[in-house]
A and B are shown apart, each in its own frame.
Chain A
Amino acid sequence: MSAEKKEYLLVDENGQGKPDKPWIFRTYAGHTNAKASNELYRKNLSKGQTGLSIAFDLPTQCGYSSDHEVSRPEIGKVGVPINSLEDFRILFDQIPIEEMNTSMTINGTSMWLLSLYVALAEERGVPLEKLNGTTQNDLIKEYLARGTYIYPPKESMKIIVDMYEYCLHNIPKWNPSNICSYHLQEAGATPVQELSFALATAIAVLDAIKERNCFTADEFEQCVGRISFFVNAGIRFVEEMCKMRAFTEMWEEITKERYGVKTAKYRVFRYGVQVNSLGLTEEQPENNAWRILIESLGVTLSRNARCRALQLPAWNEALSLPRPWDQQWSLRLQQVLAYETDLLEYPDIFEGSKVIESKVKALKEEAKLEIQKIIDMGGALVAIENGYMKSQLVKSQTERLSKINSNELVIVGKNKWTDGIKSPLMTDSDGGIFKVDPKSAEQTLNVLAEAKSRRNADLAKKSIEDLKKAAKEGKNLMPFSIACAKALVTTGEWADALREVYGEYNPPTGVDGQKLFLSDDKVSTVRSKVEAFTKANGHRPKIVVGKPGLDGHSNGAEMIAVSAKHSGFDVIYSGIRLSPEEIVQSAVEENANVIGLSILSGSHKEIVKQLFDELAHYKAKIPVVIGGIIPESDFDELKKMGIREIFTPKDYDLMSIMEKIIDIVSVEPAFA
């Protein structure tokens, strides 16, 4: 045998061909209740999935128990509801947590969920050092994009640092937080914004840890090594791959230069990926399968910046939650890529490419400038509080939408080649979409009621008081939270205790001063209708854009607010997590001509009913339109309830939406 080294082969120390191990295969999953989710996880694991990625429902994410009034419409909708340790016992039944790599997509209540996990491990006799996984716990991006924050930035950061301190000493293999730029791209971030905002966030976390000064130099290095990232991979896959390479190089530089990390392995940019769902279309949804494949290539082809874990959305994600079959199809794509192709057999295939190198360089330079800007401002926390980052994202998003509207950005099946044969995938008896059984919430509520009745009430009360006291005194809250978990304290009780001490946060909406870049005939048509209205009524039309419930995905609402202003409306937009009562009160006090609701969590029917009840209370007849992920099968019922117009992701043309709205407003009696 020739001993000649083949540059193109990956080999082990004996010169034998040795392909890379594949990344961790995950599916982001959870729905209905703990029992149904447990069954789903066990099925997925038996199909070759190698890690768990838990989706929690919105009440759990926002720190409400299922029996809170705001929870009712949302229980089990976008993830699994977790109220107390009892739900975790059910959720992980027959799943060996010591062998799992468990990722929890949880932020505002991440300390609580980790405490439950620790309590479960201790109950099962699993040594904590065996626990392996990640709590997402990136509040910065929650303020910017996803909206499941609870406390103000400073207090949130304190909780994150508490977790780093606790984990490093007790659960060394746990990633206490996961800097998450995923949702930034969903909110419209450019690759440069994704790079710079995520890295600025990581810097903010590390600076806060440094400031607490709770680690020795060696421990601090290990701590840097625990920072992981969760990123997004979009459809422009060459650019996305360059973004990943830029991330890797920049993290290496930051950890070395800013933090003086000497050990090479602690400077490695470790990241997981969920590929982009923003670009998935409701129109011709089968095309999404190809989009998902292409997006996966961006984060797998490049060995020097290959992801460590991957989760893929389902082809029908723009329509509803995926069914088990849809998730299986997504998992199979990963398996084909990792096991059928030769992808893992080669060293980095882009090393030395001039194109890739210069693109990476360009991205890095721009991102460095942006990071410096944020640091000069006082860091990521300041850039959140003064609204800078949010307004930058809303700006990128409006630019992106303007381009889709003007067909500058081609989206197959949406603004080009829109005629097609209806997908046979959608003809199954369930219509190709998944709906949560509304009765399943009862099971969750029963578990909760039972846990409450069975627990030692005095102990629960005492642990909550201890938690509050610790928060007031600025102590590390982890041990107190774990004590709460063991005392069967509920999610809502835990979060309320800290709400009492820290207060709740209400961030800038980022829509002030935003402009759309649209000036075609449609815009002038809408504007002339708005002018006609203004002339006839003596004042501009007024719209209240409302984002009710716990669903914090506010991109749609923000775009409508900006478009309405662009058309000449006076717009009232007060951000997320409003109750129907608050939205109606705004509309009544402002004498709005129309209310526009944005709901993506699937609870539109319940919320619309509450809203009309409240309008009746004021004897107000204000027309209501609604936008969001709303299945066609609900249209009739919503219209019967009084909804005047329904917009879904198919309605991407902002000016057509605005035209429909001004038409509705224009026929209303002038003085009403």
Chain B
Amino acid sequence: MIDTKESLSQLVSEALPGEKYPIAKIISKIETENNLEFRESLFQELILQNPDTKEGLTIGITGTPGAGKSSLLGEVCKLFLDLAPDKKMAIVAIDPSSNVSGGSILGDRTRVTLPRRDNRIYFRSQPSQLELGGLNPYTYHVIRFLRKVFDYVFIETVGIGQNEISVSLISDLSFLVMQPLGGDQVQFMKSGIMEVPEAFIINKCDEESLANSSYYMLESTLEFIKDILPDQSLPPIFKTSVTKRKGIEELLLYILKYQNRKDKNLETLTQLTQWIRNEYGRWGISIWEKLESSQWNQAVKRNPLGGIHKLKYEEEERKFVSLIQTKIK
């Protein structure tokens, strides 16, 4: 399964310092069906070659189509090169376009002008393959890999209503991007997901008064939610404009200074549950709940927020597969 001419260890050793082509090849491999074995070897190899492997911050950027997410990310990239000279970032842009043929047009690169031949920024597109939640089934593993190589990993998804919850599950910090007075506010309030993102961006704030009125509208909406969740502090709101080049520096500095990490054990647990549900439906979930979940839940409990990542995804996946096989027999 791994090309003998180009061994995995060589690919990993080239990928770790940020070489684009080896990184690209590894991602393609992760994006391949039946990739469990490959993932096992890949993550073993990554730890082997770099025991103090880094764990990049994952930033989710989501919002309705047309909110200007890609253009905003393009500006973030430009500033990143100046403001974080010793850091590296990757972007995974998930594009919802797809049709009957299964083919897709991935247009997000269009909005992002990237510096040439600079290994500090890497951009990768992914078709969503019509998965709910705006994420591709392989996205999670691609992100896990990129976190080992890059200091910051951005995931850009299109989300409408409930769907953008998914991206926040695999992000340490997720943003909801809106347009001024786009009418989104009411929509999001209704769908009850305003509590999900850690921060908000009102993009396209090209005009001061419109930007301010949107800002106050959003603020009051969030205060309303805060009443429901009294222990939560009010999330920050950024006003940005790509055309006027405003607010982007503040946004990036906030990201660069952001320290909190979400519990990776919980993340693993959530993703695994989701995988089981997709793969084996309610039957699979019931087996998993009966036999395994209490043990896992305890493992998660032992690790408070920001704890060390104890659960190894592939190991757990394999455990579950063998468990389910005994059930089938």
Q: Chain A residues in contact with chain B, CB under 8 A?
A: 152, 386, 503, 506, 508-509, 511-515, 527, 530, 534, 537-540, 561-562, 564-575, 579, 581-582, 585-586, 588-591, 617-620, 669-672
Given the complex of chains A and B, what is the CA–CA distance between A511 and B97 in angstroms?
A: 10
Known: A386-B66, A588-B21, A588-B24. A574 touches B107 (CB 8 A): yes
Q: Indicate which residue in B27, B34, B101 contacts A566 across the interface (CB closer than 8 Å).
A: B101
Expressed in whole angstroms, the Cα–Cα distance for A508 and B117 within the complex equals: 25
Pair B111/A506 contact, Cβ less than 8 Å: yes
Q: Total number of A-B contacts with CB less than 8 angstroms?
A: 115
Inter-chain contact B103/A566, CB cutoff 8 Å: yes
Q: Return the contact of B243 from the options A503, A534, A571 (Cβ within 8 A).
A: A503
Does B2 make an interface contact (CB < 8 A)? Answer: yes
Q: Pick the interface stretch among B118-126, B218-226, B258-266, B304-312.
A: B118-126
Is residue B28 contacting chain A, with contact meaning CB distance below 8 A?
Answer: yes
Contact B107 A585 (CB under 8 A): no
**B20 sits at the interface (CB 8 A):** yes
- A506 vs B110: C-alpha distance when bound (angstroms): 8
- Would you call B105 an interface residue if the criterion is a C-beta within 8 Å of the partner chain's C-beta atoms? yes
Q: Would A512 and B24 count as touching, CB distance under 8 A? A: no
Contact of B21 among A511, A574, A618 (CB under 8 A): A618
A152–B35 alpha-carbon span in the complex (Å): 45
CB of B231 closer than 8 Å to a CB of A: no
The reply to whether B103 and A538 form a contact with Cβ atoms under 8 Å apart is no
Residue contact A561 to B105, C-beta cutoff 8 Å = yes
Kindly state the separation between the CA atoms of A514 and B97 in the bound complex, as whole angstroms.
10
Residues of B within 8 A of A538 (CB): 31-35
Q: 10 closest A-B pairs (Cβ-Cβ)?
A: A538-B32, A671-B3, A591-B24, A565-B103, A568-B103, A591-B28, A581-B116, A574-B110, A568-B101, A571-B105
Which residues of chain B from 15 to 71 have any CB-CB distance to chain A below 8 Å in the complex?
Answer: 20-21, 23-25, 27-29, 31-35, 66
With a CB–CB cut-off of 8 A, which chain A residues contact B159?
none
Interface residue tally for chain B (C-beta within 8 Å) = 39
**Contact indicator B105/A512 (Cβ below 8 Å):** yes
Q: Are A570 and B127 in contact (CB under 8 A)?
A: yes
Chain A contact surface mostly: loop
- With A571-B106, A591-B25, A619-B21 known, 4 other A-B pairs at CB within 8 A are A565-B104, A566-B99, A569-B103, A617-B117
- Given A509-B110, A575-B110, A671-B6, check contact A589 B101 (CB 8 Å): no
Min CB distance, A667 to chain B, in Å?
16
Binding site for A on B (CB under 8 A): 2-3, 6, 20-21, 23-25, 27-29, 31-35, 66, 97, 99, 101-107, 109-111, 113-114, 116-117, 122-125, 127, 243
A254 to B297, CA, bound (A): 71
A514 to B28, CA, bound (A): 26
> What are the residues of chain A within 8 A of B110 when measuring CB–CB?
506, 508-509, 573-575
Contacts of B2 in A (CB 8 A): 671
By beta carbon, the residue of chain A nearest B106 is A572
Tell whether A570 pairs with B107 under 8 Å between CB atoms, given A538-B34, A588-B20: no
- Decide if B35 touches A565 in the complex (CB within 8 Å): no
* B25 nearest in chain A by CB position: A591
Please report the C-alpha to C-alpha distance between residue A614 and residue B101 in the assembled complex, in whole angstroms: 32
A154 (CB) vs chain B CBs: closest residue:
B243
Closest A residue by C-beta to B31 = A539
Name the residue on A nearest B123 (C-beta).
A589
Residue among B103, B107, B116 with the most chain A CB within 10 A?
Answer: B103
Are B35 and A618 touching (Cβ within 8 A)? Answer: no
Quote the shortest CB–CB distance from B281 to chain A (angstroms). Answer: 23
B103→A540 contact, CB < 8 A: yes
**Contacts A570-B127, A591-B27, A617-B117 known; A509 to B107 CB distance under 8 Å?**
yes
CB <8 Å contact, B103 and A539: no
A618 to B105, CA, bound (A): 25
Q: How far is the CA of A574 from the CA of B64 in the complex (A)?
A: 21
Chain B residues with Cβ under 8 A from A534's Cβ?
Answer: 102
Chain A residues whose C-beta falls within 8 Å of the C-beta of B23 in the assembled complex: 589
Question: Are A590 and B66 closer than 8 Å at their CB atoms?
Answer: no
Give the residue of A567, A572, A669 whose beta carbon is less than 8 angstroms from that of B101: A567
Q: Cβ of A671 and Cβ of B29 under 8 Å apart?
A: yes
Among the interface residues B99, B102, B114, B127, which one has the most CB atoms of the partner chain A within 10 A? B102
**A423–B104 CA distance with the chains assembled, in angstroms:** 42
Contacts of B113 in A (CB 8 A): 506
**CB<8 Å pairs between A and B, sample of 15:** A512-B105, A527-B101, A566-B103, A567-B103, A568-B102, A568-B103, A569-B103, A572-B109, A581-B116, A585-B116, A589-B23, A589-B123, A618-B21, A619-B21, A670-B3
Are A539 and B101 in contact (CB-based, < 8 A)?
Answer: no
